[in-house]
């Protein structure tokens, strides 16, 4: 069952990696898709966030591929909370909802649910 957490981590690393590329390469477009008015300062901040997401995506993939079961469990727990937080924060963006902001929030909540289901499945199996 730990394999399920590893799979969610791999998928999440891909999504965060793609987001990172978009944030670094096209922050103006990303801002517009989120319904935000772009500025030089916001674009700079989005690029910095993108670089940080490169590190997060790499760490997620590393844990999924080479991490011990204990490190995968801890990473899954952290990512369940973080992905949920991403969904909430996306809905709290100080702009009108756009199709993209709703989709991005749903993706965050979806990954959070994926981690929670995988974690509870593992916990339920360990009781048997």
Answering whether pTM is above 0.75, one says yes
- pLDDT averages per 10-residue partition of the chain, 128 residues: 94 97 97 96 97 97 96 97 97 97 97 96 71
Return the pLDDT at 1. 76
Domain ranges (residues) in the chain: 2-127
Return the pLDDT at 85. 98
Please name the residues in contact with 48: beta carbons below 8 A apart, sequence gap of 6 or more.
Answer: none
Handedness of CA 117, 119, 121, 127 (dihedral sign): negative
């Amino acid at each position: 069952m730990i394999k399920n957490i590893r799979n969610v981590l791999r998928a999440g690393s891909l999504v965060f990696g793609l987001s990172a590329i978009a944030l670094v390469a096209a922050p103006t477009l990303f801002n517009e898709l989120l319904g935000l008015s772009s500025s030089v300062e916001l674009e700079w901040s989005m690029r910095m966030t993108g670089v940080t997401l490169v590190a997060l995506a790499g760490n997620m993939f590393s844990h999924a591929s080479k991490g011990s079961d204990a490190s995968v469990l801890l990473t899954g727990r952290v990512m369940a909370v973080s992905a949920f937080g991403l969904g909430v924060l996306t809905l709290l963006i100080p702009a009108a909802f756009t199709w993209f902001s709703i989709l991005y929030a749903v993706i965050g909540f979806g990954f959070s649910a994926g981690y929670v289901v995988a974690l509870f499945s593992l916990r339920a199996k360990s009781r048997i």
